[in-house]
Chains A and B, each alone.
Chain A
């Protein structure tokens, strides 16, 4: 995860791409990761499907349901990742709800993640207060637990959470669930400025980022962007190349 800091120090912006593991079959995952690597993304977030994804909007929920229908499980995804022998240059992040981790066993989860080459983990329904359930095991295997902050995070909490942040901070841009949005408000810009001024690690904006306008608006106030629903939809519609301009708008220094 050090490269994320280097990127920030160079003044470059990060692009983290989210994909739903096993949407369209687990055998697609390797090709999707390889393809995204060629487009120049900074890191890839691999989503684990869950029956009750309350933080997600319809695009990701439906992708998860398709993956579940294909029989995709946390165990299978980690085994698949462990089998990869291609040259992987960018960090992989696993995003999963808490329940599959508890069922799998937090300690075993940490060990399997390490074997699968995972650099960091995001658990959206594991709040800061309860991170003891998982974090100590991840720490032991050298995996980062990514902290989330939102527009509703109170000032004191923000400081506590940022003090514990490693890798990057996931700053949620909307009061709501994941999904494509039209508008990004002034309030979001102010929020990003605040978080960035206090954070010891790079700050990436996520939830609702789907357009180059969103990126232009927030570019100067964040260190990177996380794009989920737009990519999941593009893969599902077989139009992934349409997403490249969005990636380049972030990763290329002087986008045309």
Chain B
């Protein structure tokens, strides 16, 4: 959720009104809103610890800044002058560097900033601290700046802030004159502004900073008491790691140097021509090391496990892609690795079983129940309950008790963030439709999350209809499921009228799961994402199509998204843009393809 900063506070009554915000700004530069260090220290006392205290300076001496940091104390420093990189490096707290944006040259300048965050404002008139005028937001839409570093200021008020968030999805919005009446702060306007940003329904869809770990009604921590300590510890460790720049840098280093990111957003010319509708782009998660998106999450969680002092990893796997990703990262980081896999899946995905063993993982066959992913999760949970003190459970999808659904989503969001930048770069605008397949839903949530705030972008999740949603053999949980609790979360399930969880069916082992991540259920519930189901047969037809038209053999899972994309494209025009997340490549499915597609080759 976008954070709120109320800037230029001078009086206690306004500071108290701002206590529901995420940050409060104190101006130490020449301005009618200027305060002394003593005044700021007094005002900061009124604020809860969770609110950032930010000092605003224009070309101040370093000693003056350091003294304010120490004495208020400030948790962040915001610089509006001509401060050098060396100056920024000398500041012991996080730094926001402010830029006046008039044209594209200004945007290029801010892209080079070494500060933790960049604040964008319209050019000032009388002083350099900010002008209260809006700037041309479209200048930033084409910028390569990570929205997670972006703070938007400049003439925001309750009326236009929604638009700013919608078009830029910034980390924070900064308001000052927009919450004033006749040049003085107005407590009612401050409260109303915070409510507008935080209470906006589109933003609620992205909001997961909920301490109890619910997405709307869905999610939670429904685990046996023995696991509560581990789940709480993980929650705390992740919250800390998420904010730790070193952890994030480490994670991104592995994504770049080991996984091979960023992955291209490939224009699919022949598919575009064949479908005769929108321009079609493919997000190429199939090019990741180990062949699918799963490794994005495996790396993040493995680094977190090490940070928590746990060097043993247990994981479940369906298609084997998550198992391979986990075994790979465990080999790389010298971690002990046990993978539970259903007997039926072991049969379907022998090549991946061999890969895991080759990588040094212990693969445990699960013969219970349907002997597929659900039963592998049960066994992995039992193993975790028994070995919880030294073992991390590396869940492979956006499932399980909080914080797993949020954490997996965050680690997979690199997919959507890259896609957003790439499409803005190539087309200068956001796409009209994005599709991704949904089993537990990790590639889909990673792709969708950075676009959830963009109302103009239609998001479609594609489930497995197996032999048809009206048969007993499908895995279309959102289409046909009902609410219930499984594997730690309140979500949607395929279950009978007595609450017994049913077996799912899909030709694709990765979609063969009778639940779906709680955030997806919430996004469906509020109507933000549409969920469709595609049959085994339709998916196989799309495997052939994508292979022959684009030279890309997709995983069976990803082929479901391709099949639904074809249907969506039929109703779209040539001026529109459609993106498909190709979550993985088809190597692992070659045996199935050989069996099912014989005669076509």
Chain A residues near B388 (CB-CB < 8 A):
152, 175
Query: CB-CB contacts of B182-200 with A at 8 A, as 1s and 0s?
Result: 0000000000000000000
The answer to whether A102 and B386 have CB atoms under 8 Å apart is: no
List B207-228 residues whose CB lies under 8 Å from chain A: 212, 220-228
The answer to whether B385 and A125 have CB atoms under 8 Å apart is: no
Q: How far is the CA of A99 from the CA of B229 in the complex (A)?
A: 22
Stretch at the interface among A50-58, A210-218, A242-250: A50-58
Please name the residue on chain B nearest to A127 by beta carbon. Answer: B228
Q: Is A176 interfacial (CB-CB < 8 Å)?
A: yes
The answer to whether A129 and B498 have CB atoms under 8 Å apart is: no
Stretch at the interface among B69-77, B297-305, B482-490: B482-490
Q: Is A177 interfacial (CB-CB < 8 Å)?
A: yes
For the complex, count residues of A whose C-beta is within 8 A of B: 38
List A115-153 residues whose CB lies under 8 Å from chain B: 124-130, 148-153
Q: Is B108 interfacial (CB-CB < 8 Å)?
A: no
Q: Is B272 interfacial (CB-CB < 8 Å)?
A: no
The answer to whether A153 and B501 have CB atoms under 8 Å apart is: no
Q: How far is the CA of A172 from the CA of B226 in the complex (A)?
A: 8
The answer to whether B221 and A102 have CB atoms under 8 Å apart is: no
Query: CB-CB contacts of B457-485 with A at 8 A, as 1s and 0s?
Result: 00000000000000000000000001111
The answer to whether B382 and A177 have CB atoms under 8 Å apart is: yes
The answer to whether A149 and B500 have CB atoms under 8 Å apart is: no
The answer to whether A102 and B382 have CB atoms under 8 Å apart is: no
Q: How far is the CA of A61 from the CA of B500 in the complex (A)?
A: 14
Given A54-B224, A175-B385, the answer on whether A153 and B497 have CB atoms closer than 8 Å is: no
Nearest-Cβ distance from residue B290 to partner chain A, whole angstroms: 28
The answer to whether B499 and A150 have CB atoms under 8 Å apart is: no
The answer to whether A125 and B485 have CB atoms under 8 Å apart is: yes
Q: Is B495 interfacial (CB-CB < 8 Å)?
A: yes
Query: CB-CB contacts of B376-408 with A at 8 A, as 1s and 0s?
Result: 001001100110110000000000000000000
Q: Is B241 interfacial (CB-CB < 8 Å)?
A: no
Q: Interface centre among A99, A153, A157, by most B CB within 10 Å?
A: A99
Main secondary structure, interface of B, reads: mixed
Given A61-B368, A100-B499, the answer on whether A55 and B229 have CB atoms closer than 8 Å is: no
Q: How far is the CA of A170 from the CA of B552 in the complex (A)?
A: 56
Nearest-Cβ distance from residue A158 to partner chain B, whole angstroms: 10
Given A103-B499, A154-B229, the answer on whether A129 and B212 have CB atoms closer than 8 Å is: yes
Nearest-Cβ distance from residue B102 to partner chain A, whole angstroms: 52
Stretch at the interface among A13-21, A26-34, A68-76: A68-76
Q: Is B374 interfacial (CB-CB < 8 Å)?
A: yes
The answer to whether B498 and A74 have CB atoms under 8 Å apart is: yes
Given A52-B378, A130-B221, A177-B385, the answer on whether A102 and B499 have CB atoms closer than 8 Å is: yes
- Which 7 A-B pairs rank lowest in CB-CB distance, beginning with the nearest? A103-B499, A100-B499, A176-B386, A73-B498, A152-B229, A51-B500, A150-B226
20 other contacts beyond A52-B369, A99-B495, with CB at 8 A cut-off?
A50-B499, A52-B374, A54-B487, A73-B498, A75-B498, A99-B499, A100-B499, A102-B485, A103-B484, A103-B499, A125-B485, A127-B221, A127-B222, A127-B228, A130-B222, A152-B225, A152-B229, A152-B230, A175-B386, A177-B382
The residues of B with any CB-CB pair to A shorter than 8 Å are 212, 220-230, 232, 368-369, 374, 378, 381-382, 385-386, 388-389, 482-488, 493, 495, 497-502
The residues of A with any CB-CB pair to B shorter than 8 Å are 50-55, 57, 61, 68, 73-75, 98-104, 124-130, 148-154, 157, 172, 175-177
